[in-house]
Amino acid sequence: MGKLNNKTREQLIEEINKLRTKFSELKSLEKEHLKTLEALKETEERYKGIIKSTASCVVVYKSFNNGEDFIITEFNSMAEEVEQISKEKVIGKKVTKAFPGVKEFGLFKVFQNVWKTGKSEHFPVSVYQDERIQGYRENYIYKLSTGEIVTVYQDLTESKKIENSLKIQRKNFTDILKGTNAGTWEWNIPTGELTLNERWAEIMGYTLKELEPIDINTWIDNVHPDDLPIANAQLDKHFNRELDYYDVVFRQPHKNGKWVWVNARGRVTEWAEDGKPLRISGTHLNITERKEAEEELGKHREHLEELVRERTKELEDKNKELDNALLVFVGREQTIKDLEERVRALGGR
C-alpha cells in the first residue's frame, strides 16, 4: 500500500493503459490462435479426405525406438483394397509385423534413410512378397514436419503381367521368324525407333550395321512415292482398329539402285490406356520375283489378248466374205430358177 500511495495518479493511469494494451494484444493473439486451430483442423480434414479418396495407396508411419521400426498410423482405402486387409488390422502395428516381407523387399531401408535425412526417395517397381500377398509396387517416400514418414505407392501387378506377356509374345514372334526368308521389324511408335533384323537389311542389299541407326522417318523416305499413300492409309486403318492386320505391298530402293517389291505385314503388339498404339511388329518379304513374274505374265496375257483380237477380226472378215459369197450364190441360183421357168413357159406355147 505504501508503494501504491507513493505513485502519482498519472503513473497509475499510465500503468492501467499499458495493461489495457497488453490485454488487447492478448485478445488478438487468442483470435489468431483460434484461427490457426481452425486452419489446422481444415488442413487435417482436407489431408484425411485426400488420403481417403486418392487412387494411390497411402500409408503413414511414425518412428518406433528411434527408427528401429515404424508403426502404421494411417492406411487409406486403396491400400486396404490392394493389400487385401482392413485398416483396423494394421493401424498401430509395426510395419515388420503387418508386412513381414518389407525388409527383404528393400523398402524398410528406404524408410530409415528418409526418416534420418528428411530427403524424399523413389523406390522403383519391385516385387513385394510375403506368405499372404505378392505383387509389383512402385513407392514414393517422404517425411512430414511431424517426424512421420509417408509412402505413396501404386500397385502395378496387372500392368506388369501384361508387359511380361507382351515380352513373351514378342520373343515367340521373333523365334518363329528365325530361319525364315522374312525380314523382321519392330517400331516403337512414340520414339520413332525401328529395330530390324539382318534379313531385312539383306533384302535391301545392306548389312544391318550399314543401316543403323534407323528410325521411322528414314523408312518412310525410302518408300516409293507412288506407294506411300496406300501404305499410310493401311497403317491408319490398323491403328484405328478398322483392320486386324497391317498388310500392304510397296517398293523400296535396293543398294544397287533398283526398286525391290516388299510385302509388309504387321500388327500392334502394345496399346496405351487411351487406345493409341505404342508398338507394332511385323515382317518384310521380298516379292520382287513374284511381281516381275506377274508383270511378265501380264505382258504375255496382253499379247495373247491382242492375238485373239487379231484372229477374231480375221474370222469376222472371213465370215463377211462367206456371207457375201453366199448371197451371190443364192442370187445366182434364183436367177437360174427364173430362167428355167421362163424357158418352160416358152416351150409350152
Q: Are residues 150 and 168 in the same domain?
A: no
Task: Check whether 206 has a pLDDT greater than 80.
Answer: yes
Round the average pLDDT of the chain to a whole number and report it: 80
Q: Are residues 56 and 148 in the same domain?
A: yes
Q: Quick one: which H or E segment has residue 334?
A: helix 288-348
Task: Check whether 222 has a pLDDT greater than 90.
Answer: no
Mean pLDDT to the nearest integer, 35-47: 52
**pLDDT tens column, 266-296:** 899 888 888 899 988 888 888 878 777 766 6
What predicted TM-score, i.e. pTM, was given to this entire model? 0.44
In a domain, 279, yes or no: yes
First to last CA, the chain: 196
- CATH number of the domain encompassing residue 275: 3.30.450.20
pLDDT band for position 241 (cuts 50, 70, 90): very high
Q: Which of 128, 155, 182 is at the close of a domain?
A: 155
Strands, sheet with 277-286, edge to edge from the N-terminal-most edge strand: 193-196, 183-188, 277-286, 259-271, 246-253
Structural domain that includes position 209: 161-286
| Stretch among 36-50, 105-119, 124-138 having the lowest mean pLDDT | 36-50
> Quick one: DSSP state of residue 89?
G
More confident residue, 204 or 180: 204
Mean pLDDT to the nearest integer, 82-103: 95
Nearest CA-CA partner of 73 in 84, 87, 83: 87
- For the chain, what is the domain count? 2
Q: Are residues 257 and 282 in the same domain?
A: yes
**pLDDT tens column, 150-176:** 999 989 888 788 777 767 766 665 555
Mean pLDDT to the nearest integer, 119-141: 93
Q: Percent of the chain scored above 90 by pLDDT? A: 33
Q: Which of 124, 155, 186 is at the close of a domain?
A: 155
**pLDDT tens column, 56-86:** 899 999 999 999 999 999 999 899 999 999 9
Give me the DSSP letters along 54-87. -SSEEEEEEEETTTTEEEEEEE-HHHHHHHTS-G
Task: Check whether 24 has a pLDDT greater than 90.
Answer: no
